[in-house]
Amino acid sequence: MSLNIAKSNKKRVVIVGGGFGGLKLANKLKKSGFQVVLIDKNNYHQFPPLIYQVASAGMEPTSISFPFRKIFQHRKDFFFRMAEVRAIFPEKNMIQTSIGKAEYDYLVLAAGTTTNYFGNKHIEEEAMPMKNVSEAMGLRNALLANLERALTCSTKQEQQELLNIVIVGGGATGIEVAGILSEMKKFVLPNDYPDMSSSLMHIYLIEAGPRLLAGMSEESSAHAEQFLREMGVNILLNKRVVDYRDHKVVLEDGTEIATRTFIWVSGVTGVTIGNLDASLIGRGGRIKVDSFNRVEGMNNVFAIGDQCIQLADENYPNGHPQLAQVAIQQGELLAKNLIRMEKGQEMKPFHYRNLGSMATVGRNRAVAEFSKVKMQGWFAWVMWLVVHLRSILGVRNKVIVLLNWVWNYFTYDQSMRMIVYARKAKEIRDREKLEETNHWGKELIQEPKQHSPQEIQQASEQEKK
């Protein structure tokens, strides 16, 4: 297996990750004179801000996803390959992927983040994450299957475990999930499950810190908490989850909450590259970069978006927030800087322009901050809708999402509440097994040489002479 991309007389830019930053970079390099290769483990771009609506059966996955090959159709000097990058060999200008090796002139790491379990392997095995479309679909199936089972289970204990939902993490994703599940409890359950009282469902939102939305102001945090409490969500602050056993979430103070729907959205960590030196990894598992988003100590390897941490911006001495706008702005500037480098011009350092942040809690409820302006309630909710609708790729997707929102606003009746488990074909299962054991670049990774006692003794004697 290999990438099967012929090397041309044009310099090659390899972009790892097709999120907001990688996509912006690839688009801005159009007609730049570079050969552009985009590598991603999925064959589509996904829109993370709306993934929670897929998890709650409020939106179909295709509405927030867009195939890379459709985005870059008819684009010259552009290649897409579905693969994972496993190792980097800067001295050879080469990367090892799950389908073979590839050379580069410039390498850009933009693979984003993955769920952070803070080293708790047991929670990692038991909890339901919600970082991508696949995980959101898995969560949707679990939620719906648990509701179906709650109707037929044999004991009240099991029924309560099935109807208790515990969400760990009080960031934007946590409050959005809690809010939409609260609306589901109020408007969907009475219609879909008339023979089961919706009052039996309890939603818990657990946050280890003293408030929700730690990345926003205390004012916005307080409004979000107030909205959720009014919607019937049980909020537990300053509570840390330490384990999950016997269908119970265990808190540090010994408290237990019975549940079979254990959702973990408590932080993220940068996607790791197997052989990258530990000294290059900063806080949050993010790759350290300079003011030009260049990986420290490397001339032609860059990192952008959530996967990197830059401490050179004086306005953000502890690193930029992990937001879509940071990745987009870094991708746009890096495209210009790569072109400048080819022309022998100096690169420009990155400075983040803060365009604000927002989070939605439910219909007519949201919080938003723009520079010195803070808003909440209905107007913030409308702003949230407009901003996210504009950001979705594809006219078809925009129209479908808008129609979904309009329909749901008046009816609260989504038609995607189906439990569907995808089964991989044997050919795909066999191929994945093959990729698990091959293409790790072990022959290029320099293992430290083991010296025999005789060699050590000889070296010592030679040094004395």
- pLDDT at position 404, please? 81
Q: Do domains 12-41+83-115+269-343 and 121-266+363-411 have the same CATH topology?
A: yes
Which residues of the chain register pLDDT less than 70?
1-2, 412-415, 446-465
Question: What residue segments make up the domains of the chain, in order of their start?
Answer: 12-41+83-115+269-343, 121-266+363-411
- Tens digit of pLDDT for each residue in 309-356? 999 999 999 999 999 999 999 999 999 999 999 999 999 999 999 999
Residues 6+ apart with CB under 8 A from 290: 296, 310, 312
Phi, psi of 21 (to 5 degrees): -70, -50
- pLDDT at position 446, please? 61
Question: Which helix (DSSP H) or strand (DSSP E) does residue 379 occupy?
Answer: helix 378-391
The rounded percent of the chain whose pLDDT value lies above 70 is 94
Spatial separation of the C-alpha atoms in residues 199 and 201, rounded to whole Å: 5
- Where does 121-266+363-411 sit in CATH, by number? 3.50.50.100
Helices (H) and strands (E) in the chain, counts: 14, 25
Q: Which of 58, 69, 44 is nearest to 132 (CA)?
A: 44
Q: Which of 73, 78, 95 is nearest to 5 (CA)?
A: 78
- pLDDT at position 2, please? 67
For 79, 96, 233, 368, the CA distances from 358, given in Å and listed in that order, are 35, 38, 20, 4
- pLDDT at position 414, please? 64
- pLDDT at position 405, please? 83
- Where does 12-41+83-115+269-343 sit in CATH, by number? 3.50.50.60
- pLDDT at position 415, please? 62
- pLDDT at position 352, please? 96
- pLDDT at position 148, please? 96
- pLDDT at position 349, please? 97
Spatial separation of the C-alpha atoms in residues 258 and 419, rounded to whole Å: 24
Virtual torsion, Cα 71, 75, 77, 83, nearest 10 deg: 20
Question: Which helix (DSSP H) or strand (DSSP E) does residue 29 occupy?
Answer: none
- pLDDT at position 453, please? 42
